[in-house]
Amino acid sequence: MMGVPAARPYRVVVAALIALLLIVALSGCGAASVMIIPTTRPTLTPTLTVAPSQTPDRDVTPTIPPSPLPRTATGGPSPTPLFGAAATLPGQPTGTARVLDPNAPRIEFFTTDVLAVVPGETVNLYWSTRNTTTAVIYRVERGIRSRLWNVEPDGSLPVQTNARDRGALDFMLSVGDGAARIELPLSVPLACPNLWFFTPPAEACPDAAPQETGLIEQGFERGRLFYVVATDTLYALFNDGTTPAWVAFPNRYDPAIHPEFEPNFNPPPGFYQPVRVLGFLWRGNDTVRGRLGLAIQPELTVNGFVQVATNVGGASTLYASSADGTVLGLLPEGTAWEIVTPL
């Protein structure tokens, strides 16, 4: 039994030779296939690579990007600075910013305590200034400084208005001297104390309340005549297109010595001879007679109103009741006349 163990190495060699021969035989067969044993797919692990930074070449000269061309009149308007051009002092070179003097006189406010004042009442003015020892307040009428008050730098001033003032009261506060002088205007509206006798009313403010009066009126071919008893005045209104458009005349008719009409004048059919006050003016004034022509209706006597409005320039407009229920408006200085139809 001691010889058995010695035969194992031989058997191992024989088995190895047989296996080698079998592999060679199989590889020589063209129909044989090779078995592929699948394995786990490898996972790719990305590697971060830092890209090299661009370093400008030392021989390269840097360039500035081109600026857009300014816009001209052919390419659109040029932009305007948001706050406008800087102010300059007189004699200061253009382009130099204005330097404000903190010690220069200035006006902090100039006002009144009412929204409007009734003509004839008192209006109080209030003001405050800085960096000055005196101030001057002017009353401005028709663009002219007609009155002045030397006042303190701060304070108040009562001003008595005139019952005939209309429109607004204008004042000017002035402080400083020469190039350092500064001024501030103030306009105080005037309330209208009177009402018109007709509606819709005129835009102007009447000088006084309506005056009740008797009126005599007569129509003519090219206009009309009317007489205001309260003022003893006659008005010739022309519509012939020439100037003046109307003329006022004082009444010269005296019934004690003047006839009521001309007995030798016989108007054509459909026309009338003016009589008494109107007739005396018509017969005695060739211009009035020639421009008006013949009367086309008898005279009418009514009770009505007259009222006057004077503007800031001193020119007056007369409004008077008409016999036909309308209102006649005679504009200043005979320039024109109109018919106002009340509601």
Say what percent of the chain tops pLDDT 70: 71
**317 and 257 housed in the same domain:** yes
Three-class SS state of 218: strand
| C-alpha span between 341 and 322 (Å, rounded) | 10
Q: Which two tokens stand for residue 249?
A: 């005349």
Task: Determine, yes or no, domain membership for 57.
Answer: no
Higher pLDDT, 248 or 146: 248
**225 and 334 housed in the same domain:** yes
Q: How far is residue 109 CA from its own chain's centroid?
A: 23
**237 and 151 housed in the same domain:** no
Residues spanned by the domain of 225: 211-340
Over residues 23-65, the pLDDT tens digits come to 544 444 444 444 444 544 555 554 444 444 444 444 444 444 4
Please give the pLDDT value at position 16. Answer: 56
**224 and 321 housed in the same domain:** yes
Please give the pLDDT value at position 76. Answer: 37
Task: Determine, yes or no, domain membership for 118.
Answer: yes
| C-alpha span between 122 and 130 (Å, rounded) | 27
Task: Determine, yes or no, domain membership for 100.
Answer: no
- Whether 161 and 180 have beta carbons less than 8 Å apart is answered as no
Task: Determine, yes or no, domain membership for 158.
Answer: yes
Task: Determine, yes or no, domain membership for 69.
Answer: no
**183 and 215 housed in the same domain:** no
Split into its structural domains, the chain has a count of 2
Rounded to two decimals, what is the model's pTM?
0.60
Which of the listed residues 189, 224, 257 is the one where a domain comes to its end? 189
Sign of the Cα torsion 250, 253, 256, 258 reads positive
**217 and 336 housed in the same domain:** yes
| C-alpha span between 175 and 107 (Å, rounded) | 8
Higher pLDDT, 191 or 62: 191
| C-alpha span between 273 and 261 (Å, rounded) | 7
**125 and 221 housed in the same domain:** no
**226 and 315 housed in the same domain:** yes
**238 and 317 housed in the same domain:** yes
**236 and 151 housed in the same domain:** no
Task: Determine, yes or no, domain membership for 178.
Answer: yes
**239 and 277 housed in the same domain:** yes
Confidence of residue 282 (pLDDT cuts 50, 70, 90): very high
| pLDDT (average), residues 265-276 | 95
**334 and 286 housed in the same domain:** yes
Domain at 134, CATH number = 2.60.40.1930
Task: Determine, yes or no, domain membership for 28.
Answer: no
Task: Determine, yes or no, domain membership for 177.
Answer: yes
Over residues 284-329, the pLDDT tens digits come to 999 999 999 999 999 999 999 999 998 877 899 999 999 999 999 9
pLDDT at 90 over 90: no
Which of the listed residues 134, 155, 189 is the one where a domain comes to its end? 189
